[in-house]
Chain A
């Protein structure tokens, strides 16, 4: 999964219209809630067949931070 693919899937999860570029702060995104975390888990499960640890989100501030976690996971 590349970053662009992730961003489009993440937009779908968040049910937002605008195109994310990754620099957005999570706290400023409408729809960033516990259901969106389930969405992230589902994206990683279906695309990478790996488990995404929701505890790792405690250090994330932007969408890019989440992408880095996911990218690390897919390269591990």
Chain B
């Protein structure tokens, strides 16, 4: 039996910072302390014009390759998770292969998922490895939601930050990535959406869909119905946790740490209590970067390992949930 494991994680952020002070200057009716107490976010990194998810993802991946140049020839699978690819055609993954100088005889593909994207991608990498297709898969998540956000959309601007992660997943003879559980519920598609594209144009009128046009939004901007996404999370996550634990024949006490998608502090705290997870086992680490969508889990994992909060040999439950609606969970051994 071929198993897989995470052997390295890196992250990369744009230089430009959007602080709560700046947001408070832009929206004077907002109290800075309230932004922080409600969201758990002090600042987020925002890409400049021309700086893209491809750039961020490549920079994150390069950090892993810089440690070991042999990886260029050893990486035999590439996954690129983004909802802000440079182009509709071609995929970021193919351009990444060229930029990083990876082999040409490897599978490489983009996939379009948000907050569930990392765990979902880990399942794909795990599948490629356990079926013998690949031995070392580079899983990149990179997101630049800021490019979709309307300038006056204050509630969304406080939450999301841009960033990227790269994770090396490789074959091993010990079980380090366990069984996965998933939720897919397309009934929530309209709750987190950019409602226009080159393919679908002007489908939604202001009279029928006024919510898409509030706070200066156009159909090219991202719209999020936060309360409905929160409801999905409350419905979904406790069940997902229970199902994934039971699939792996584990109990909550078998888990050393929980790393959930770092959505916002309020949501996380409520879910933590609902799932009866002790505070000291629940990782929250995003106050200086915001919600970086598919990147939050690998970044929080990496930081917790670096800070020696999560140690080698420990068991970690990871779960991502959001746009789609889509959710995915698994258990990993560090």
Q: Which residues of A contact B (CB under 8 A)?
A: 15, 31, 33-35, 37-39, 41-42, 45-46, 51, 54
Q: Which residues of B contact A (CB under 8 A)?
A: 34, 37-39, 155, 225-228, 230-231, 234-235, 266-267, 270, 273-274
List, in ascending order, chain B residues with CB within 8 A of A34's CB: 155, 226-227
**Chain A residue nearest in CB terms to B225:** A54
A41 touches B230 (CB 8 A): yes
**Chain B residue nearest in CB terms to A45:** B234
Q: A15-B34, A31-B34, A46-B274 are contacts. A41–B234 as well, Cβ < 8 Å? A: yes
A38 touches B226 (CB 8 A): yes
5 A-B residue contacts at CB 8 Å? A31-B34, A35-B38, A38-B226, A41-B234, A54-B231
**Chain B residue nearest in CB terms to A31:** B34
A42 touches B34 (CB 8 A): no
Beyond A45-B274, A54-B228, 9 additional contacts (C-beta under 8 Å) are: A34-B155, A35-B39, A37-B227, A38-B227, A38-B267, A41-B230, A41-B234, A42-B266, A46-B273
List, in ascending order, chain B residues with CB within 8 A of A38's CB: 226-227, 230, 266-267
**Chain A residue nearest in CB terms to B158:** A35
CB of B226 to closest CB in A, whole Å: 5
CB of B141 to closest CB in A, whole Å: 25
CB of B177 to closest CB in A, whole Å: 32
